[in-house]
Amino acid sequence: MKIGIVGLGLIGGSLAIDFTALQQHTIIGISRRLSTCQQAIARGIVAAASPELSSLAAADVIFLCTPLEALEPTVKALVPYLSSTTILTDVGSVKGDVVRAIAPRWVNFVGGHPMAGTAEQGLDAAQSGLFVDRAYVLTPAASTPQSAIDTVATLVRSLRARVYQCDPDDHDRAVAWISHLPVIVSASLIAACMGEPDLSVLKLAQTFASSGFRDTSRVGGGNPELGLMMARYNQHELLRSLVSYRSHLDQMIQHIKSNHWQELEDTLAKTQSDRPKFL
């Protein structure tokens, strides 16, 4: 199969590595940067790479691995070169708006979200096996042909990812809870700690911080551009989860303020027993 990959960063590069390793496909990479194209060719993870979208004219399937804000312009620019049978799929972490924007432009579009990543970015961070045993969610529109869904699902399964399929808006609501809300919750923790006005206490806090703080603050100390993108593109669902979060937080505060120790213990016992449902 001829597979096009637009955007040779962490995800696009890792897809290129894994598809090339299967020795069943021809991979054509696209990057705006010539140096990235040259690097991909030198690493042997693409058969060809260039900044020219026209080089994807013969592709059977194209993975759109650009940042979210570049998806729609990329599709607009790409469409004139494509045959009508070409299947497009993206790897964006938000799906509702993406599917609403692209599905009307290209019937053979299958929204996708590989739930894999590292703290690093760019082609240098691309690695083999990034998708193994990770969820890879497909979010077709009602109008998406089953054959297009099947083709993308088969390709993704060949990466040994766990393929799921759901409604684009349900996806966004679910990832708001478990991926986007934690970023804001965690970043607010860092910001609040840094707000300690007594600098000697702040210094003690920084000295004493260990695994509890490290884990709870990890995603809040991540790439700010990713945090910004998820807030912009999943604004509605993120706000919905934040409002609910704040009300649960307020209830905890109320328990502590009012010496409602039994209620606090009950709440903490429930979160202890509920957490494994997410693991």
By CB under 8 A, the residues from 189 to 218 that bind a second copy are: 189-196, 198, 200-202, 204-210, 212-218
The residue among 190, 187, 189, 167 whose CA lies nearest residue 237 is: 167
> Which residue in the set 10, 151, 171, 233 belongs to the binding site for a second copy (CB under 8 A)?
171
Is residue 187 near a second copy by the rule CB under 8 A?
yes
Half-sphere exposure in the Cβ direction for 33 (13 Å, CA): 10
Q: Are 139 and 163 in contact (CB under 8 A)?
A: no
Is residue 174 near a second copy by the rule CB under 8 A?
yes
Query: Per CB under 8 A, which region of 47-55, 60-68, 96-104, 221-229 contacts a second copy?
Result: 221-229
Is residue 264 near a second copy by the rule CB under 8 A?
yes
Query: Per CB under 8 A, which region of 9-17, 25-33, 69-77, 231-239 contacts a second copy?
Result: 231-239
Query: Per CB under 8 A, which region of 4-12, 34-42, 152-160, 172-180 contacts a second copy?
Result: 172-180
Residues 87-126 that bind a second copy (CB under 8 A): 115
> Which residue in the set 75, 82, 175, 233 belongs to the binding site for a second copy (CB under 8 A)?
175
> Which residue in the set 135, 143, 150, 157 belongs to the binding site for a second copy (CB under 8 A)?
135
Task: Kindly state the smallest distance separating residue 108's Cβ from a second copy, in Å.
Answer: 25
> Which residue in the set 164, 168, 199, 233 belongs to the binding site for a second copy (CB under 8 A)?
164
Q: Are 140 and 149 in contact (CB under 8 A)?
A: yes
